[in-house]
Amino acid sequence: MERLLFEMSKEGKSAYSIPPLDVDDIEVEKVIPKNILRSKKIGLPSLSEVDISRHYTRLSRMNYGVDVGIYPLGSCTMKY
C-alpha cells in the first residue's frame, strides 16, 4: 500500500527554490491585516517535486483505465 505524503515527509525538503530577491523586503503586517494572518504553520508535508511526482505516478498505476488495458463497455454487443 502506498504511504501518505505526510508519512513520506522529511523536515527541510522543498519542492521549489526561490531565487534571491532584487527588491526590498516588506513587513507582511503592513500589507495584510493581523486578524486574517495565519497564527500557526499550515502543516503541509515537506517533499521534493520528484517525490510528489513519483507518488502520484504510482497511485495512477493502481487505477485501471483505458490507457492501461482493455476497457469493455459492451455497447457494441448490446441489443435494444
As a dihedral over the C-alpha atoms of residue 59, residue 15, residue 13, residue 46, rounded to 10 degrees, the angle is -60
As a dihedral over the C-alpha atoms of residue 51, residue 56, residue 62, residue 66, rounded to 10 degrees, the angle is -140
pLDDT 10s digit of each residue in the chain, 80 long?
A: 889 999 998 887 777 788 898 999 899 889 999 899 988 988 889 888 888 999 999 998 888 877 778 777 766 666 66
